[in-house]
Amino acid sequence: GWEDPTCQLRGHFLGHWLSAAAWMFEATGDARLEAKIRHIVDELLRCQIENGGKWAAPIPEKYLDWVARGKQVWAPHYTIHKLLMGLVDVYKLLEIPVALQVLEGLADWFYEWSGQFEYDKMQDILDVETGAMMEAFADLYSITAQDRDLELMSRYARTRYFDRLM
């Protein structure tokens, strides 16, 4: 299935689970569920540290480089967006600082990665696949109010698409 280690979409379930678990904890206060959430977020931080302090997504970083080169990859931004949104929900609903730490490391990675592209090239990338990354960075900006996150929102705005709709 989609979570097979060779599937390019692997790992997106984790973000969905983190969001669902955070909302379930909000509704029930279940201490066992909170412990599981904390354990998973701690493990994400451990992975992030092992990867140099920024990358903690369930797919290889190279998938995004492949998209930038025009190679077909199955929805890397979508997969990562789910993880980002799960971490946002965990931070907002449970106020777990480690969730924000992982989010900020990922935002740093995306800031550096997306910063290498001129505007038109970034729009080319977004024409292929965006995965609602602008939403994730908007939610992160609502937490941090950091210029980095505002810039990421701007970089991930699909103007070729949305300007025509407007």
- Letter for the amino acid at 162? F
What pLDDT shows up at residue 61? 96
Give the pTM: 0.95
Q: Give percent of the chain with pLDDT exceeding 70.
A: 100
When computed from its CA atoms, the radius of gyration of the chain, rounded to whole angstroms, is 16
CB 53 within 8 A of CB 112: no
What pLDDT shows up at residue 140? 98
What pLDDT shows up at residue 38? 98
Sole residue written with tokens 């990338």: 125
User: What are the tokens at 125?
Assistant: 């990338």
pLDDT grade for 12, boundaries at 50, 70 and 90 = confident
Q: 3-state DSSP call for residue 157?
A: coil
3-state helix, strand, coil in the chain (%, to 5): 70, 0, 30
Question: Does the pLDDT at position 164 exceed 90?
Answer: no
* Dihedral sign from CA coordinates of 120, 116, 8, 101: negative
**Model pLDDT for residues 15-68, shown as the tens digit of each residue:** 999 999 999 999 999 999 999 999 999 999 999 999 999 999 999 999 999 999
CB 105 within 8 A of CB 49: no
